[in-house]
Amino acid sequence: MRRFLDRHWYAYAMVLPVVVVIAVLVLFPLAQGVFFTFTDINEGNIANPILDRPASYVSVGLDNYLNILSGDASYGAFWSTLVRTLIWTFGCVFFHYTIGLGLALLLNREVRGRAVYRVLLVLPWAVPAFISAFAWKYMFNAQYGIINQFLRFLGLDDPPVWLGQSDWALVAVIIVNVWLGVPFMMVALLGGLQSIPGDLYEAAEVDGATPWQRFRNVTLPGLRSVSSTVVLLGIIWTFNMFAIIYLITGPNPNTRILVTYAFERFFSGASRDFAVASTYGVLILSVLLVFAGVYRRALRKQGEVW
Amino acid sequence: MTVEAASVKVVRPGVVARRPDRKRSERSRLASVGLHGALVVASLVAVFPVFWVLVTSFKPDAKAVETTPKLVNDSSLDNYARILAGEKGDFLAWFGNSVLIALMTTVLAVFLSATTGYAASRFRFPGKRSLMLSFLVVQMFPFAVLIVPLYNILLLLGLQGTSMGLVLVYCTTAVPFCTYMLKGYFDTIPNDIDEAGRVDGLSPFGVFWRLVLPLARPGLAVTAFYAFLTAWGEVAFASAFLSAADESKTLAVGLQVFVQQNRTEWGHLAAASILVAIPAIIVFYLVQRFLVTGLSSGAVKG
């Protein structure tokens, strides 16, 4: 034991603060949150130290899970919401990745004004999310929003009501999130591109590879490890991306994803249903854990050590 | 100390490999036009929303909702003057709170993730693998759902309603990703430097503080940027954990209230948004030249 501590004490000393903070502020709340999913806790029966009222919620077993998984509309229509969440997540990450990669490839060339283009293209990342949400909400307005004015100018007499009760709202929030998320992907992939040794391209060129073959056989394999990391992170972040939808369309059922519904359940309504919100949280976490496991296994099959 | 930071930089393999010095054959004029065209269009799309808010911020509220868009329409600095004078809420107090909270979060998150990232990069210790994995899992937690338990704990610790409580909560969001990023960056700094420092009699902490940290400046800059933005733009936790008094709000919370009360005052909202975006853009401008190197080495190594 003594030798063990002698050898490792500075490593543990450096890690300890983070472990303590995470344990106290993440793991413990998580355990409590999981516990809540088996109760009927809400604003009315939670312990309230200000009113000096003891907790009076009771255990309900698996009822919350059963109610939600039945797909009942009064519990957020879990399955159709899940499908919408998947459309949202994969739609966003697909465009983040493809547009980000395209721009990174352009920026990786010798282009005059590259530094300026880079600053401009990364700008959406620097703008706080609630400001971007406000800007886009203003631009998407059906009457005076500049987007519809532009569409009318192009001759489209009847442009969509973007943020109304239709699937256009989902399209709109996906557009906003794509705009918001491309810079991160672009910067990460640009770094990945720049770490591919130039010799490989020269060798390919000597061997007579076409540009497409160079892209397929040098660029993409060289980007594999960056891509697998950023795509996984992108999926996790987008799946749980709450601010954009919440700030732009609010409780619109056409843009409802799992996280926003949990939040709706949590904050709105007279009763503030903490139990159902927590159950949603546990289900979200389960979906993501399963996904990460599958993803990791798929990568390992391709010989990736991650 | 015999190891000079400047002389060491030359041997770093990452930097050498990162320079794309391959010269392609001359590009045709058409390809050149296409390349610039694509970049210009993309830049316009990236910048336009911010530009449009800027244009709107000078217009009176009534002109901001006209159905024929104009760049200038009775534009003036009135919106800014009124907001800064506090007519729409205690804007300057919110601003101060936000700056304080964001800076504290930045300092704390960079410090925590630097030590953790360094330990994970240099030392083998039991539990390292599960620690890094848990950082990935922590990012999967829908934090919206942790709010009630978090509220209880902050209350228990006496931090509910204080800036410090909020700073700690932000750190739990920022630190896991920052640690990944910095671990990757530290991995690109050769271990020889540490060994040379140890031979010269530095403690493990001395090596970290005096040799490795100065070399990791790009990585630290990106981490700081990320942590700053996490705290600067956050709405949900700030509205749940700060006391309801007007003068203790952050900008994000104050502006939300403003939005709910004045749905039609687009001109004022735009001006307030620009004022909020300015500090973030300043921070961004300071770190942007480090962004690619700092982020990439982190992401490459995962």
Looking at the structure, tell me whether residues B148 and B226 fall in a common domain: yes
From the centroid of its chain, how far is CA A124? 16
- Give yes or no for residue A68 having a pLDDT over 70: yes
- Give yes or no for residue B276 having a pLDDT over 50: yes
The predicted-structure confidence for B256-272, as pLDDT tens digits, reads as follows 777 777 666 788 888 88
Looking at the structure, tell me whether residues B93 and B140 fall in a common domain: yes
Which carries the bigger pLDDT value, residue B208 or residue B261?
B208
Looking at the structure, tell me whether residues B155 and B218 fall in a common domain: yes
Q: Which amino acid is at A98?
A: T
Looking at the structure, tell me whether residues B102 and B249 fall in a common domain: yes
- Give yes or no for residue A249 having a pLDDT over 90: no
Predicted local distance difference test score (pLDDT) of residue B103:
93
Cα-trace Rg, chain B? 24
Looking at the structure, tell me whether residues B34 and B159 fall in a common domain: no
Q: Is the CB of A183 inside 8 Å of chain B's CB atoms?
A: yes
Mean pLDDT of chain B: 79
DSSP letter string, B73-133 = SS--SHHHHHHHTTTTS-HHHHHHHHHHHHHHHHHHHHHHHHHHHHHHHH---TTHHHHHH
Read off the pLDDT band of A95 (50, 70, 90): very high
Predicted local distance difference test score (pLDDT) of residue A1:
64
Looking at beta carbons, which residues of chain B come within 8 Å of A200?
none
Read off the pLDDT band of A91 (50, 70, 90): very high
- Give yes or no for residue A191 having a pLDDT over 70: yes
Q: Is B127 left (phi over 0), alpha (psi -120 to 50) or beta?
A: left
User: Is position B8 within any domain?
Assistant: no
Distance to chain B for A167, nearest Cα, Å: 22
Which carries the bigger pLDDT value, residue B20 or residue B272?
B272
Residue B114: which domain range?
Answer: 86-298
Predicted local distance difference test score (pLDDT) of residue B43:
93
Looking at the structure, tell me whether residues B172 and B66 fall in a common domain: no
- Give yes or no for residue B15 having a pLDDT over 80: no
User: Looking at the partner chain, which of A19, A49, A281 has a beta carbon nearest the beta carbon of B155?
Assistant: A49
Predicted local distance difference test score (pLDDT) of residue A82:
93
Q: Which amino acid is at A12?
A: Y
CATH number of B111's domain? 1.10.3720.10
In 10 A of CB B243, how many CB atoms?
11
Predicted local distance difference test score (pLDDT) of residue B20:
45
Mean pLDDT of B32-39: 89
CA–CA gap between residue B23 and residue B4 (Å, rounded): 33
Asked whether the beta carbons of A279 and A68 are under 8 A apart, the reply is yes
Nearest to B56 by CA among B295, B289, B274: B274
- Give yes or no for residue B300 having a pLDDT over 60: no
CA–CA gap between residue B1 and residue A4 (Å, rounded): 30
Looking at the structure, tell me whether residues B165 and B184 fall in a common domain: yes
The predicted-structure confidence for A23-49, as pLDDT tens digits, reads as follows 888 888 888 888 888 888 877 777 776
Cβ neighbours for A266, distance < 8 A, ≥ 6 positions apart? A272, A273, A274, A277, B144, B145, B147, B148
- Give yes or no for residue A69 having a pLDDT over 50: yes
The predicted-structure confidence for A194-214, as pLDDT tens digits, reads as follows 888 888 888 888 888 888 888
Predicted local distance difference test score (pLDDT) of residue B1:
33
User: Is position B14 within any domain?
Assistant: no
Looking at the structure, tell me whether residues B256 and B273 fall in a common domain: yes
- Give yes or no for residue B235 having a pLDDT over 50: yes
Predicted local distance difference test score (pLDDT) of residue B296:
58
CA–CA gap between residue B37 and residue A107 (Å, rounded): 13
Mean pLDDT of A204-225: 86
Read off the pLDDT band of A98 (50, 70, 90): very high
Mean pLDDT of chain A: 85
Which carries the bigger pLDDT value, residue B168 or residue B204?
B168
Looking at the structure, tell me whether residues B133 and B66 fall in a common domain: no
Asked whether the beta carbons of B17 and A197 are under 8 A apart, the reply is yes
User: Is position B138 within any domain?
Assistant: yes
User: Is position B217 within any domain?
Assistant: yes
Predicted local distance difference test score (pLDDT) of residue B263:
66
- Give yes or no for residue A298 having a pLDDT over 90: no
Read off the pLDDT band of B2 (50, 70, 90): very low
Mean pLDDT of A76-98: 93
- Give yes or no for residue B18 having a pLDDT over 60: no
User: Looking at the partner chain, which of A103, A228, A237 has a beta carbon nearest the beta carbon of B42?
Assistant: A103
Domain boundary among B81, B107, B130: B81
Looking at the structure, tell me whether residues B192 and B215 fall in a common domain: yes
User: Looking at the partner chain, which of B138, B177, B295 has a beta carbon nearest the beta carbon of A187?
Assistant: B295
Torsions phi, psi for B169 (to 5 deg): -65, -45
Predicted local distance difference test score (pLDDT) of residue A303:
55
Residue A53 forms beta bridges with which residues?
A48
The predicted-structure confidence for B172-183, as pLDDT tens digits, reads as follows 888 988 888 888
Q: Which two tokens stand for residue A125?
A: 């990342």
The predicted-structure confidence for A148-171, as pLDDT tens digits, reads as follows 888 888 888 788 888 888 889 999
Predicted local distance difference test score (pLDDT) of residue B294:
65
Predicted local distance difference test score (pLDDT) of residue B11:
33
User: Is position B11 within any domain?
Assistant: no
Mean pLDDT of B181-210: 85
Question: Which A residues, 51 through 90, put their C-beta within 8 Å of a C-beta on chain B?
Answer: none
Of A160-169, B236-245, B281-290, the poorest mean pLDDT is in: B236-245
User: Is position B4 within any domain?
Assistant: no
The ipTM, to two decimals, is 0.83
CA–CA gap between residue A228 and residue A222 (Å, rounded): 11
- Give yes or no for residue B109 having a pLDDT over 90: yes
Residue A204 forms beta bridges with which residues?
none
- Give yes or no for residue A66 having a pLDDT over 70: yes
Looking at beta carbons, which residues of chain A come within 8 Å of B293?
191
Distance to chain A for B2, nearest Cα, Å: 24
Q: Which residue in B has a C-alpha nearest to residue A42's C-alpha?
A: B148
Cβ neighbours for B283, distance < 8 A, ≥ 6 positions apart? A126, B224, B225, B228, B229
Of A33-37, A175-179, A268-272, B7-11, the poorest mean pLDDT is in: B7-11
Q: Which two tokens stand for residue A190?
A: 């640009």
Q: In this prediction, what percent of chain B has a pLDDT beyond 90?
A: 12
From the centroid of its chain, how far is CA A23? 23
Which carries the bigger pLDDT value, residue A176 or residue B295?
A176
Read off the pLDDT band of B234 (50, 70, 90): confident
Read off the pLDDT band of B3 (50, 70, 90): very low
Domain boundary among B43, B64, B81: B81
Predicted local distance difference test score (pLDDT) of residue B264:
67
Predicted local distance difference test score (pLDDT) of residue B146:
79
- Give yes or no for residue B22 having a pLDDT over 90: no
- Give yes or no for residue B7 having a pLDDT over 60: no
Asked whether the beta carbons of A288 and A268 are under 8 A apart, the reply is no
Mean pLDDT of B284-295: 76
From the centroid of its chain, how far is CA A303? 27
CA–CA gap between residue B284 and residue B5 (Å, rounded): 26
Looking at the structure, tell me whether residues B98 and B203 fall in a common domain: yes
Q: Which amino acid is at A123?
A: L
Asked whether the beta carbons of B88 and B272 are under 8 A apart, the reply is yes
Half-sphere exposure of A210 (CA within 13 A, CB side): 2
- Give yes or no for residue A144 having a pLDDT over 60: yes
Distance to chain A for B105, nearest Cα, Å: 13
DSSP letter string, chain A = -HHHHHHHHHHHHHHHHHHHHHIIIIIHHHHHHHHHTTB---TTTS-BTTTTB-----B-TTHHHHHHHTT-GGGT-HHHHHHHHHHHHHHHHHHHHHHHHHHHHHHTS--TTHHHHHHHHHHHHHS-HHHHHHHHHHHH-TTT-HHHHHHHHTT-SS---TTSSSTHHHHHHHHHHHHHHHHHHHHHHHHHHHTS-HHHHHHHHHTT--HHHHIIIIIHHHHHHHHHHHHHHHHHHHHT--HHHHHHTTT-GGG--HHHHHHHHHHSSSS--HHHHHHHHHHHHHHHHHHHHHHHHHHHHTT---
User: Is position B149 within any domain?
Assistant: yes
Predicted local distance difference test score (pLDDT) of residue B17:
41
User: Is position B3 within any domain?
Assistant: no
Asked whether the beta carbons of B222 and B295 are under 8 A apart, the reply is yes
| Number of domains making up chain B | 2
Count of CB pairs separated by less than 8 Å, A with B:
289
Predicted local distance difference test score (pLDDT) of residue A54:
76
Q: Which residue in A has a C-alpha nearest to residue B71's C-alpha?
A: A146
Domain boundary among B58, B81, B104: B81
Question: Which B residues, 207 through 236, put their C-beta within 8 Å of a C-beta on chain A?
Answer: 208, 229, 232-233, 235-236
- Give yes or no for residue B232 having a pLDDT over 60: yes
Looking at the structure, tell me whether residues B240 and B106 fall in a common domain: yes
Mean pLDDT of B30-54: 90
